[in-house]
Amino acid sequence: MRRILIVDDSPTIRRMVAASLQSLDSVVFSEASNGLEAIEILARESINLMILDLNMPDMHGLEVLQFVRSHDPYRGMPVIVLTTKYDEQTRKTALESGAARYLTKPFDPGVLRENVQALLEAK
């Protein structure tokens, strides 16, 4: 089983992301409502891919991404940033910080599914 961690402060978005990916084989989901909770889950569970919002309370998504990339157990884990931030500078910063993909909300479920599947198959 492959485990995907969905990190977003909106329960509705977390449900929409999970529903969009339900058709993928052998995938289970963990959810975090903020960056600190995401780091706690990473410490407890083996996560294969993270879908990460940027604008969250307690810890910004870029801080979570930088944490992930600075710790060996998570360094190779693909991270898809899924955010409402449309500006080019934020996109560039996220990709330079180690995001594998940068998608914006509202998102196309098919595009998200294709990106997740491609990253899981490449791993």
- What contacts 62, CB < 8 A, 6 or more positions away? 54, 93, 94, 97
Q: Are 81 and 119 in contact (CB under 8 A)?
A: no
Q: Are 53 and 67 in contact (CB under 8 A)?
A: no
Answer whether CATH 3.40.50.2300 is correct for domain 2-122.
Answer: yes
pLDDT tens by residue, 56-110? 988 999 999 999 999 999 999 999 999 998 899 999 999 999 999 999 999 999 9
d(CA 71, CA 108): 31
Question: What residues form DSSP beta bridges with 42?
Answer: none
Q: Are 5 and 41 in contact (CB under 8 A)?
A: yes
Q: Are 61 and 34 in contact (CB under 8 A)?
A: no
Structure tokens given for 64: 């979570």
pLDDT tens by residue, 98-112? 999 999 999 999 999
